[in-house]
Amino acid sequence: MTVVNSCMKQGPTNIIKAMMQVRLQVLLLLIFTFPVFGQKADNIWHFGRGCSMYFNDGFLVKTTGTPSVQPHKFSQYIFKVATICDNRTGELLFYTTGTEVMNRNHTAMPMGSFIANILQVMIVPDLLDSTLFTIFYTTPSGLFYTKVDMKLNGGLGGVVVQNQTLSTDAQNHFVVVKQYYGQGHWLIVSDKNGQRFYAYRITGERISEPVISVAGPDRIYDINDMRLGDMEATTTGNMFACTFKSASNKGLAGIYDFDKVCGTIKFNQTLNIDGFYQSLAFDQTAQFLYVARMLGGDYHLLQFDLFSGDPSQSVINVVTFDGYTPLEAMELGPDNRLYITTEEVSSGPGGGLSPASKLHVVEKPWLKGIACTFVSKAVKLDPGTTCSGGLSCRITNSLPDGVSDRTTVDPGYEKPLITTAQFCFGDETKFAVINDFGADSVKWVFSNKDSVYAKNTSYVYAEPGKHTAIFKWYLCGFEYVKKVDVFIGVTPLVNLGNDTILCHGTAITLSGSTGADGYKWSTGDTTFTIVVKAAGMYAVEVRNGDCKSGDEVAIGYYPSLWTDLGDEYFICNDDKELVKLDAGEKFEQYKWTPTGDTTQWIIVGDVGDYFVVVKDFRGCNGNDGTQVKRRCPVSVHFPNIFTPNNDGLNDHYVPKGKDVVNFTMKIYNRWGQLVFETSDISKTWNGVVKGEAANAEVYVYTATYSGYFNKRLREFTAKGSFTLLR
């Protein structure tokens, strides 16, 4: 299948909204959780000559500090490289050198040699089988692939398909992102004339015919310049950018939106400022695009804000280098830092430029302007470090390239929602798709290979047991499949018994059919039994597989027995007052607590809690309770003398009160000065004022207090004097 599009396919409105919502969710996830990724496939970068960068710290991606640089056993220069690690452990699986495939022991795999003059290479994992990988690469002759099976050679891997041609009309750079749903990838590459994009859908062993899109201005490439035409995708895979030249030989960068469902491409905008655009990279939020530009012999790292109205007007020059330290390749690392290769003046005879032993780093590429924190030569190889053969470890002017798309969870883009009404043997089983998920066409396939070209259908199975129906739908010419398991069973029997009326406050247990494999009660419960405590109609649906039956029963309740002892009673037990508690007549039985009486009423003279249980002629119970509280007249006595001489007798001035509810008191000296106050009748005055003994003289007090008189709460005032003697 070859599909040609002049722009991105415009699906239903709900499809577009779903894509925008998923992109926003993924962006927020990347912004707020970016130091920790579930993917570890690119934890190690093999490149340069005899050196590797390790992003992992144990089994975790490093979140602070620069990656560690370690020598390895391959001493030749690696100019075009791809590395792949175990996605679970981060351990190296294999890598490429630009000429052949190397296992983790740095030994070439048999049949692992590539066609000469590689321009870009990338290892793409098979999302259906974690042991299979496809190596895609470009040369001036086109786009090719080689397949590796890691189950071979004792887990060291082996090449099973070598140097297969995918396209002879492919430019030197490409990007790979994930399908919007389904276990696969998209490979996007430009044609050699710079007018069309090809998007290959890769799922398992299958590589589809390309979806062809004509989008944006014509792009002029130079197949002999492997830097021109650099392509990078965002971490969500919904957008990519590429560098090219215009017809007037002006450097440009194009931004394109990518439909991860259909594989179509829509032109977004062109970044148009002077200079030669050499390499580019997105930050993990896809807000900023970084471009290495050459202008007037100098090199500039530019930052474009794609969220602004006009990125070409919001461009910021992060850093400038002279022509003796050119900026080369850029890649976003798994730690979300941006890594940039450079060259330096050679110290050997004749001078000239050679790959540097240092990498520049943009520490926070998701921040605007200089806040992104450019650090020159942040990653350094130890000058004293030597690799295999006694040669110095060096970094080349290219970095490993991998799948840009970091999305790890299938977003469930508009998948069909299928309901089934599944019956017993001999009856119809109904299948229905209840949402509009944007398919071009659909098909049901049943156990006897019968096909029905409709969303909703029914089918009669020839025998009971488990069956699988297959629903297929087609979108943009691609097939997707969903399996639906059904079980045709035997009708279970269930009997909830006769309708009944219960006493208020009691419960009854209802049971479903024994031997069934599922229960659904009208209460929402799914257990074999339920306990009923309220009146109503109760029903149960019992299921064997998808064969169902049910029953219902009415449960009623007699009204609750009403007895009212009153809320509370008040007595003054000092005066031996009594109170009568009456539970009401016409009950068959009475039981009082704590007295143990079995009469209709009781007379009590003690404060406390009293409770009665009654029973009527139907055997139903009722109950009530009340409190008997103390309420005696208030009394307060104010002494007229006290002697605070620490002899243990009458050393504190304190009123004596009984049944006091609230109390406040203030004491003044003969000059009217306040010397003591309290709101607690038990708090005493010790004859000390501000840390000094008070004078022996007459003092005046005023007090307000409240308490009960004739069972009513009242407020009282008191005023008087007393003498302090020493």
By mean pLDDT, which of 222-231, 311-320, 404-413, 484-493 is the weakest? 222-231
The contacts of residue 590 (CB under 8 Å, 6+ apart) are 583, 597, 598, 599, 600, 612, 613, 614
Predicted confidence at residue 364, as pLDDT, reads: 95
pTM: 0.61
> Mean pLDDT across the stretch 85-113?
89
Q: Which pLDDT does position 572 carry in this prediction?
A: 87
Strands 500-502 and 547-557: parallel
* Cα–Cα distance, 151 to 157 (Å, whole number): 6
16/525: higher pLDDT: 525
Q: In this model, does residue 447 exceed pLDDT 50?
A: yes
Chain segment 45-97, per-residue pLDDT in tens? 877 766 778 887 544 455 556 677 777 666 666 767 899 998 888 888 999 98
Cis peptide before 594 (omega within 30 of 0): yes
Between strands 568-571 and 536-544, the pairing is unpaired
How much is the pLDDT for 510? 94
Distances (CA, A) of 483 to 164, 442, 444, 456, 473: 34, 13, 10, 15, 12
- For residues 139 and 116, is the Cβ–Cβ distance under 8 A? yes
What single letter denotes the amino acid at residue 125?
Answer: P
pLDDT of amino acid 373: 95
pLDDT exceeding 70 applies to what percent of the chain? 85
Mean pLDDT of all residues in 352-374: 86
The rounded distance, in Å, linking the Cα atoms of 605 and 476 is 91
- pLDDT per residue as tens digits for the range 689-716: 999 999 999 999 999 999 988 888 899 9
Cα dihedral sign, 457-462-465-468: negative
Please report the pLDDT score of residue 7 as a whole number. Answer: 36
3-state DSSP assignment of residue 306:
coil
- Candidates 81, 90, 121; CA nearest to 399 is 81
Pick 359 or 124 by higher pLDDT: 124
What does 195-261 look like in DSSP terms, one character per residue? S-EEEEEEETTEEPPPEEE--SS--B--TT-TTTT-EEE-TTSSEEEEEEE-TTS-EEEEEEEE-TT
Region 636-661: mean pLDDT is: 92
CB 519 within 8 A of CB 511: no
Compute the distance between CA of residue 223 and CA of residue 354 in angstroms, rounded to an integer.
22
- Work out the number of other CB atoms within 10 angstroms of the CB of residue 555: 19
Which of 406-420, 457-471, 661-675 is predicted most confidently? 661-675
Task: Please determine, for residue 424, whether its predicted confidence score (pLDDT) is greater than 60.
Answer: yes
Is the pLDDT higher at 176 or at 387?
176
What pLDDT score was predicted for residue 161? 95
CB atoms within 10 A of CB 642: 21
> What pLDDT, on a 0 to 100 scale, did the predictor assign at position 172?
86
pLDDT at 589: 94
pLDDT of 626 higher than 80: yes
Q: Is the pLDDT assigned to residue 410 strictly greater than 70? A: no
Segment 377-398 shows an average pLDDT of 60
Binning pLDDT at 50, 70 and 90, where does residue 272 land? confident
The per-residue pLDDT for range 159-198, each reduced to its tens digit, is: 999 999 999 999 889 999 998 877 799 999 999 888 899 9
Give the single-character DSSP code of 154.
G
Sorted by sequence, the CB contacts under 8 Å of residue 61 that are 6+ apart come out as 35, 36, 37, 40, 43, 55, 334, 335
Tell me which of 366-375, 387-396, 479-488, 642-651 is least confident.
387-396
Burial of 253 (0-12, 13-18, 19+ CB in 10 A): buried
Task: Specify the higher pLDDT residue, 397 or 203.
Answer: 203
Nearest to 227 by CA among 119, 116, 99: 119
Give the pLDDT score at 16.
33
Check: CB of residue 639 under 8 Å from CB of residue 722.
Answer: yes
Mean pLDDT of the chain: 84
28's enclosing H/E stretch is helix 13-33
441-455, 607-621, 623-637: which has the minimum mean pLDDT?
Answer: 441-455
pLDDT at 52: 79
pLDDT of 209: 92
**Is the confidence at residue 282, as pLDDT, over 90?**
yes
pLDDT above 80 for 36: no
What average pLDDT does this structure show over 135-148?
Answer: 95
**Residue 257 in contact with residue 245, Cβ under 8 Å?**
no
Counting residues of the chain whose pLDDT is more than 90, the rounded percentage is 50
Residue 352 has pLDDT above 60, yes or no: no
- Model pLDDT, residue 227: 52
Q: Across residues 91-107, what is the average pLDDT?
A: 90
pLDDT given for residue 6 in this prediction: 38
Given its phi and psi angles, is residue 318 left (phi above 0), alpha (psi -120 to 50 degrees) or beta? alpha
What whole-number distance in Å separates Cα of residue 164 and Cα of residue 157?
19
